[in-house]
Amino acid sequence: MHITVHGTPTLLEGKEIKIGSEAPAARVSYCDGSQNVIGMIAPTSQLLIAIPSLKTEVCSLGAKKFNELIKQFKKLKTIMITTDDVEFINNFVASEGIDGADIVIDTNRDFAKRYGLLISDGKLKDRLARAVFVIDQEGTISYKEVVPEITDEVDYDKCIEAVDKAANFKKKGHDHENWMGV
C-alpha cells in the first residue's frame, strides 16, 4: 500500500488489514516501560489511532480532538500509538490533559508491521502512517482509515460513527443462548 508524504509517494511495509478480518495482536510499550498486547479480542471495543509524531501540528491536534470525542463512550478502550520518545509523550499528556486514551510507543514497530503502517523510506522512515482502526468486542476490524496524505486528518465523523456502532455492539452468543432467550 502507498500513501503520500508531502505529495511524495511512499510505500508502507507490513500486512494490509481489511475490514471484517481478525485484528492482529501487536506488542507495544507503555511510558512506564511495561509492555502489553493490543488488538485482537478484548472485553470492550477498541479504537487504535496510529500517530506519526505528536511533535507535529496535525498529530497533536488529532490526539486532542480524539481525546474529547471518545469521552462519551464508556465501553471503549482507546489507544494512541506513536514512535515518539517517552519524555515527550509524558510532557504532552500532562500539558494537553490527555485522559481519555492511553498513549503507547511502537518500540519494535510490531504494530506498524502487523497493521501495514510502517513508512519504509524518506524523512519519516520507520514512523507510522496516520490511521485509525475500530475493533469490535469479537476482535474484528469494523472500520479502518489509512489517511492517503500524511499531512491530512482522519475523517473524525466516520470514525466516531464506527466507534458508536462497535461500542454498542451486541455479541452474537451461541445458538443455545438465543434459543433460551438470553
Give me the active site residues, please: 59
Sorted by sequence, the CB contacts under 8 Å of residue 1 that are 6+ apart come out as 11, 12, 16, 116, 146
Relative to beta strand 76-82, strand 102-105 is parallel
* CA gap 68, 181 in Å, rounded: 38
Q: What span, in angstroms and rounded, lies between the C-alpha atoms of 164 and 123?
A: 36
- Nearest Cα residue to 101 out of 152, 143, 50: 50
Residue 97 phi, psi dihedral angles, 5° rounding: 65, 35
Distance between CA 90 and CA 37 in Å, rounded? 20
